[in-house]
Structure 1
Amino acid sequence: MKPLEGLKIVTVEHFAAGPYGSMLLADLGATVIKVENVKTGGDPARRLGPHFLGDNDSLVFQGWNTCKQSLALDLKDPDDRRAFESVVRTADAVMNNLRGDQPGRIGLDYASLRHLNPKLVCLHISAYGRNNSRAAWPGYDYLMQAEAGLMHLTGDPSADPTRFGVSIIDFMTGTLGVTGLLAGVLKARTSGEGSDVDVSLFDVALHQLGYVGTWYLNEGIESNRVPRGSHMSVSPVQTFTSADGWLYVMCMTEQFWRLMLEKLGRQDLAEDPRFVDQNLRSRHRDELTPILDREFARQTTKHWLKVFEGTLPIAPIYTVKEALDNPFVQEVEMISAVPHSSRPDMRLLASPLRFNGQRPRQRAGSAFGADNAGLLRAEARPVNG
């Protein structure tokens, strides 16, 4: 099932946030036409190594661009601009993830494009937004993690400030961006009027502070990193050592706390005055941790997973290899075969969405400029440069 079939998106994008968001739409059946700069060889992610797929393509690029078409143009060239507008005329939305000052300059905003289609929705994914003192600033995911306080909250208190292991702000911004795009399209279909939709990496990063931000805004509480990847206020919710590795345990409720103690044979801890309720356990986390470490260290990770299976929220702490080789990943079909002309056995992470129990099928993203002839009229100028 491809629920977005019939939706047409034209996107001027590169690297991660925009491509990740538009890929979600493409995998769900939307026609996503990726406009790439003919002068520079297209999206720089095509040349982002170290693992390449023939000429001007890479595993990084394919991981963010499945099911998309490629249209190679120079938007500053009058003929190519006319070709671009001919494609936009029948689109539902145009999106970009350029610097905040660029969409207005090169005519990618609603004011510039509404004459082509008054229902058009224009999504702008930028670093800091389009209408403020930082509109012209370049910016990337890790900078946002730094300035929004996320690096200050990540890692062990004794360690340096630490970023997330992946570009989570890029992916969150892309996801929220296309959520706004779809909302705009729905509104345009009933009102007949399109719009600009804006989302920035900075805003999304700050929004991820969640309750930590709410605590500060209302109580002046300045949260800091806590040891063992612990929850800020609930305990025990943290890592523990097993005989051969690490576990993450989440006793988010009193029921889970007492279940864990029963299975560990340590019901005595429920009566310990330091640990009798959630607030006290959080306050005495440093005393509780070594006690539970000793208990979990008596057996292997596999043993504890079996003991608590389906009853206590618990997970092994895996390497990337272990995570992707996990049999459960195969069971839920989160890895899909996506043949590529240079790599027939290419595998990618599948769409996390299911419709009627099925994940949308994926195909490799088009080669640079491969769809020019099909997308443009016969008299359109061929790819040059």
Structure 2
Amino acid sequence: MLPLSGLRIVAVEQYGAGPFGTLYLANLGAEIIKVEDISRGGDVARTVGPYFVEGESGDNSSLFFQAFNHNKRSLSLNLSSPKGQEILHKLILSADALTDNLRGDVPDKLGITYKQLGKINPKLVCAHLTAYGRDGDRAKWPGYDYPVQAEVGYFKLTGEPDGPPTRCGLSLVDLSTGVALALAVVSGILNARETGRGRDIDVSLFDNALYNLSYVAMWQLNAGHNQKRVPRSAHFSLNPCQLYKTQDDWIYVMCNKEKFWAALCQCIEHPELTEAAQFANFKARRENLQELTRTLDDILSRKTTAEWLSIFSGQVPAAPVYDVAQALTNPFVSATDRIQSIPCDHGGDIKVLAPPIRCDGERVKFRRAPTLGEDTKAILTELGYSDAEITQLANCGII
């Protein structure tokens, strides 16, 4: 049994951040019922290209959509209608939590807050992922990862000092906020089971991105240090920790402990560097960073990246600098179960990344992302609706 087996989560979700959070829960065994507004074509991610499952033309063929929504069920439902609300209320009687990632003012309008649903299921946890929160001046603001990265300082911490402000290569605000949502849901359910009372829990892209500033924010708030970009993707205070040139490419070396600096000097056959006053400790190396970079560039450029990695293996934290294709064909990845295959309707497979949380060798059985409303009839039947009633709901545009 996976840890979250038996949990039922109703997810009024779309696009990336919310679905990424509930994907974590699904891969730990929870049942995720994805509620999608049929009048709007469901989750907008269903149309996101440019890449689609080969040989499929259905509404779940977007590889973007498949990335965030495999192992889930889809319930098409118009929550703006009284009948849609009636179905939701029946559904949450058997649910542990409801999640959403909508604009801050929408959950209350859709009737999906604890104030509204707690009367029906007092143990229900209502977890809301918004751009800027459900209160305040920005509650009605739409918001996305990249603008939030820009506003909270990420752009001016990323890239080379003489280049333009640069975003992170991935949607790290969306992804990390999704993980925060998953933690919020599990925490809320744990408390609800102990107390018999659920609650609203909120997480926003902005707050999560700001919180991720972590020690850099501490430096500014308490020491007045406004961190700027540094060359070669270096660590802001620990050296050597950056990109270095090799004979054929680049290598990333991270000596974040003094013992690794000593190990590096031994591996490159220059133990005398540990005795040099300008490289004696982190402070000295930071003050003489340009000289340290020139010295290590000169030494490391005498061998290839692969040769250095073989020499450093198990002694010095170091890595090659790969693109995405190289990363996914890395023997450390391809020789393991880190990439999984999901059987597809047309007879082929969809390759997906395995979840990073491992539970004593147990893994969820992978299923493709559902078509829009694929599980609607089954879920409504579970709730006690007859075939005739389900047909009438469909004819009325409720499902």
Please report the TM-score for the alignment, with normalisation by the length of structure 2.
Answer: 0.94
3-state DSSP of counterpart to 2:193: helix
* Partner secondary structure for residue 11 of structure 1: strand
Q: Tell me the CA shift for residue 331 of structure 1.
A: 3.3
Residues 274-325 of structure 1 deviation map (CA, whole Å, 9 limit, x = unaligned) = 1111101011111110110111111111101100111110111101010000
- TM alignment of 1:1-385, pairs within 5 A: 1-53=1-53, 54-57=57-60, 58-342=62-346, 344-376=348-380, 377-378=385-386, 379-380=389-390, 381-382=393-394, 384=397
Q: Distance in 1 between matches of 2:285 and 2:262?
A: 13
In structure 2, relative to structure 1, the CA distance for the partners of 1:160 and 1:342 (3 Å cut) is: farther
User: For 2:362 and 2:262, how far apart are their aligned partners in 1?
Assistant: 38
1:112: how far off?
Answer: 0.8
CA drift of 1:265 comes to 1.6
Is the contact between residue 2 and residue 362 of structure 2 (CA under 8 Å) also seen in structure 1? no
- Unpaired segments ≥5 residues, structure 1: none
1:83 Cα deviation from its structure 2 partner: 1.4
Distance 1:44 1:112 in 2: 26
Which runs of no fewer than 5 residues in structure 2 stay unpaired? none
Residues 254 and 317 in structure 2, CA contact (< 8 A), matched pair in contact too:
yes
**Does the CA contact (< 8 Å) of 1:240 and 1:247 recur in 2?**
yes
Q: Is the 8 A contact 2:2 2:363 kept in 1?
A: no
Secondary structure at the aligned position of 1:315 is classed as strand
In structure 2, distance between residues paired with 1:143 and 1:360: 35
Compute the RMSD of aligned alpha carbons: 1.3
SS in 2 for 1:39: helix
Which stretch shows the higher mean deviation, 75-84 or 201-210?
75-84
1:359 positional shift: 3.4
Alpha-carbon deviation of 1:344? 2.1
Q: Which amino acid aligns with 1:196?
A: D
Q: How far, CA to CA, are the matches of 1:271 and 1:204 in structure 2? A: 43
Distance (whole Å) between structure 2 residues aligned to residue 115 and residue 255 of structure 1? 59
Mean alpha-carbon deviation: is it higher for 336-345 or for 27-36? 336-345
Task: Using the TM superposition, give the Cα deviation of residue 246 of structure 1 relative to its aligned residue in structure 2, in angstroms.
Answer: 1.1
CA drift of 1:343 comes to 6.0
Q: Which moved more, 1:79-88 or 1:366-375?
A: 79-88
Q: CA deviation at 1:178?
A: 1.3
Q: How many residues get paired?
A: 385
Q: Does the Cα contact within 8 Å between 1:240 and 1:249 map onto a contact in 2?
A: yes
Query: Helix, strand or coil for the counterpart of 1:338?
Result: strand
Q: Residues of 2 paired with 1:75 and 1:283: CA distance?
A: 60
Q: Is the 8 A contact 1:124 1:196 kept in 2?
A: yes
CA contact (8 A) 1:156 1:228 kept: yes
Q: Is the 8 A contact 1:354 1:360 kept in 2?
A: no
Cα offset, 1:165, TM superposition = 0.7
3-state SS in 2 of match to 1:70: strand
Question: Which residue identity lines up with residue 360 of structure 2 in the other structure?
Answer: N
Q: Determine if contact 1:372/1:382 at 8 Å carries over to the other structure.
A: no
- Cα separation, 1, equivalents of 2:336 and 2:356: 10
> 1:89 is matched by which residue type in structure 2?
L
For the residues of structure 2 that align with 1:360 and 1:372, how far apart are their CA atoms?
22
In the alignment, the residues of structure 2 paired with residue 332 and residue 140 of structure 1 have an alpha-carbon distance, to the nearest angstrom, of: 34
Letter in structure 1 aligned against 2:5: E
In structure 1, what residue type is equivalent to 2:309? L
The Cα shift of 1:259 comes to: 1.0
Amino acid aligned to 1:124? H
CA offsets 1:178-200 (integer angstroms, 9 cap, x no match): 10111110111111111000000
Secondary structure in structure 1 of the residue aligned to 2:64:
helix
Mapped to 1, the partners of 2:286 and 2:362 lie a distance apart of 42
The code of the aligned residue for 1:382 comes to A
Give the partner amino acid of 1:191: T
Name the CA distance, whole Å, in 1 between partners of 2:96 and 2:375. Answer: 19
Shift of 1:382: 2.7
Query: Match for 1:104: what amino acid?
Result: D
Residue deviations 1:87-139, cap 9 Å, x none?
11211001100001111111110001112100000000000001111100000
Structure 2 distance, partners of 1:253, 1:183, is: 35
- The CA deviation at 1:76 is 0.9
Letter in structure 2 aligned against 1:203: D
Rounded to whole Å, the distance in 2 between the matches of 1:337 and 1:168 is 25
Q: For 2:86 and 2:271, locate their aligned partners in 1 and report how far apart those are by CA, in whole Å.
A: 74
Could you tell me the TM-score, scaled by structure 1's length?
0.97
What is the alpha-carbon distance in structure 2 between the residues aligned to residue 195 and residue 212 of structure 1? 32
Structure 1 contact 352–359 (Cα < 8 Å) conserved: no
